[in-house]
A and B are shown apart, each in its own frame.
Chain A
């Protein structure tokens, strides 16, 4: 079985500062206008505790939206992205309800759903990720690295609990251990 070579958008809510640049970029790229409603990525705000969670299509391997769509309008592109075929979509929003993340969003003018196409036609790559260059809350990585990076972060956290207390001078600690 061939290894997958897809790239995916990985989200780290801990780094999101709530600037909504990704939304502005997405709306600009796809519709040439500026408003969060025209964006396929959405920041969910919990501003009273300064916590922000970007929600976008995760392009699930076994995607519930594809299965649930009565018109077979949710389709997977060669890039791995799962998008809505607007010609087939009847705007029933079944994919919205079936998606565990609530990632498909409603186009404010047509009422049909839309989700991230990874900006595959653009040399800049996904505009939202590019807009997040400074905060690094969004990353565009190889699907295999997505897991590796997360595991590494968790391991680093564990390491802090398990490593010996920080010691400045090695000699000093030796003198104690002799006794």
Chain B
């Protein structure tokens, strides 16, 4: 088999055994890679109402067909399982699909060791780490690593093995202490943050997986592949957006974000922060703090940063990262201009092993709750968190990771904190229990719809397309026809430029982009390269030819796109099985009632009527029914008929909830007319 390795490794931590499974070409054709077979396994090996911390929850590490090859941008790894962090708004005990994508080099090394996917099940009786040395698997005692941060633990493992090139994927103290939004890290600081994969890893008592691989990946048509890879590399080398991304990192998005006023500020209550460019802008940041760039495997761009603080209170501090989301969520979101301190916060969060978005959300929710008088020092054990207080924030972050005092509560994630305290539900900026990233959902409706419809809770990496920005639409005009069809494209240009908060075109855009982004995850390449900075062009130009040349399979672009649709549908089915459909595809009341506080779009909010229309339009585009459930026709078309009985039982749950008097956890807008 070329491109792929054709093998899947199943680790059973309870019995400390393993099993190697051979995978067929047909299986690869159906699911392609990374996120594909992860989502398949996660759906089929979990069940309705399963507790994510159940030892049987399959924690999957998946790499794609291009992972570890000469193809540029191919260092990504997807980690998936049933998420302990995300939940339905009906009940926080109802969980759903969770996955996260990390850079670094773990995926490539999994393949060098001979595995496309690693599935971890069971629970060890005491802390262990697993060493995969090509085909040899050993379970080792991790008691001396338990409690160590990412950096120290990785160094210890590498020293123990006497090999600095071993790739280690691991959790920090936050994962050990079951912080719901703990992350999985590899290469010291390349983290898969969202949806709490680290929490599940911690619940299995698994500190780390180390991989050494010595077998090469073979290519079906090497000469053609090399030519294509060079063409794509050349394109990236000459792309102005890639050059900018290299110089500024993902922080290059701050100035455009603030110009439109969408940078989530003050617990996503407003989208504008005056003077953010000077404080957070990519060039300014690089001048002050950039020690050296950091790249994922086989990526010529190197948008990753390594921080060294040269002067001031935190002089001498160094860490891997941050990127734009971390800076925005631990800085802008808690309203501070002290960037040095924000860098330290980012470094701490990484080393402790937490999702920087949810960690920032925990801080900012507490700050707003204090401001609004929802909570007092009595609730927090004497800690007072006020806007911009970075020093107390550091203390609280440490408390969260170690689940001490008030941190124990915050470690549950905003929605559960509000539920437990019985206050502040109205200011939890979330969809499906996962807090919003650094963009205000009231201004750009593409983001807004994307948050609500994403298959892993509020997130833009699943289905965002920047074609909604007039500038991007112009520079990617070739995509407009692909998205909207000839008729739709004509109409699109007639009304061009459109207002950002108009919902008209967004359902179609969002549904298309969901599959578009998924293709990048399937082949394990960077979704940003065909997304936000877009230097690689479309996936049809960039990834498809490489996929075919590397694997030698005869898949058409349409079939690849259908595979992506299949993956999106199976992830959606995971939610639907537990009854989470239309009532969760929405936002909290705040974004429908309270306008943006400041900036160029002051006063803007989401329109309820239009939102209800957009929801239905989005379902129609996907071929789903009015409750957002996958129809029989669609399931048959995608060859996932086995989900149909689950859809029926899921519908029962949603109908029961709609008919009952049970209130939602947070006040969210549910379109009227659903109740019978």
Q: Contact residues of A with B, CB < 8 Å?
A: 14, 17-21, 24-25, 27-29, 31-38, 44-51, 108, 124, 130-135
Distance to closest chain B CB from A77 (angstroms): 23
Interface set of B (CB-CB < 8 Å, partner A): 68-70, 72, 75, 105, 112, 151, 154-155, 164-165, 187-188, 213-219, 222-223, 225-226, 229-230, 233, 236-237, 242-243, 246, 291-302, 304, 306, 318, 320
Of all chain A residues, the one with the shortest Cβ separation from B239 is: A134
B237 touches A28 (CB 8 A): no
Inside 8 A of B151's CB, which chain A residues have their CB?
A: 48
Q: Are B216 and A133 in contact (CB under 8 A)?
A: no
A19, A34, A45: the one contacting B299 at CB < 8 Å is: A19
**Docked CA distance A51–B293 (Å):** 9
The residue that B306 contacts in the complex, of A19, A20, A32, A50, with Cβ under 8 A, is A50
Q: Which of B187, B215, B246, B295 contacts A35 (CB 8 A)?
A: B215
How far does the alpha carbon of A41 sit from the alpha carbon of B320 in the complex, in Å? 25
Q: Which residue of the partner chain, among B223, B242, B298, contacts A24 with CB atoms under 8 Å?
A: B298
Contacting residue for B217 out of A21, A35, A48, CB 8 A: A35
For A135, give its contact among B105, B216, B298, B302 (CB under 8 Å): B302
Q: Would A135 and B214 count as touching, CB distance under 8 A?
A: no
- Which residue from A18, A19, A35, A45 sits with its C-beta under 8 Å from B214? A35
B218 nearest in chain A by CB position: A33
Residue in A33, A124, A132 whose CB lies within 8 Å of B230: A124
A69 vs chain B, min Cβ distance (A): 26
Q: Is A45 touching B292 in the complex (CB atoms < 8 A)? A: no
Q: Is the CB of A14 within 8 A of B292?
A: yes
Q: A28-B70, A32-B219 are in contact. List 7 more A-B contacts (CB 8 A).
A: A21-B299, A28-B226, A36-B165, A50-B292, A133-B237, A133-B300, A134-B242
Could you list some 24 contacts between A and B, CB below 8 A?
Answer: A14-B292, A17-B295, A20-B105, A20-B297, A21-B298, A21-B299, A24-B298, A28-B219, A28-B229, A33-B217, A35-B112, A35-B217, A44-B164, A45-B164, A46-B164, A47-B188, A48-B155, A50-B291, A50-B294, A131-B233, A132-B300, A134-B300, A135-B246, A135-B302
Contact A27-B215, Cβ < 8 Å, known A17-B295, A19-B299, A48-B155: no
B residues within 8 A CB of A49?
318
A25 to B230 CA separation, bound complex (whole angstroms): 9
Sorted nearest first, the 7 A-B pairs with minimum C-beta distance are A32-B222, A19-B295, A35-B216, A17-B302, A50-B306, A33-B216, A17-B295
| Chain A CB within 10 Å, residue with most, of B70, B112, B300, B320 | B70
B246 and A48 contact, CB distance less than 8 A: no
Closest residue on chain B to residue A16 by CB atoms: B292
The minimal Cβ–Cβ distance linking A153 to chain B, given in whole angstroms, is 16
Name the residue on B nearest A108 (C-beta): B214
Please judge, given known A-B contacts A24-B69, A48-B151, whether A19 and B216 are in contact too, CB under 8 Å. no
A43 nearest in chain B by CB position: B165
| Shortest CB distance A54–B (Å) | 13
B293-A135 in contact (CB<8A): yes
Give complex CA distance A45, B151 in Å: 14
The interface residues of chain A lying within 8 Å CB-to-CB of B301 are 134
**Interchain CA distance A27-B216 in the complex, whole Å:** 9
- Distance, CA A46 to CA B215, complexed state (A): 23
B70 touches A51 (CB 8 A): no
From A27, A44, A133, give the contact of B70 (CB < 8 A).
Answer: A27
Q: Given the complex of chains A and B, what is the CA–CA distance between A161 and B301 in angstroms?
A: 32
Chain A residues near B237 (CB-CB < 8 A)? 133-134
Are B70 and A25 touching (Cβ within 8 A)? yes
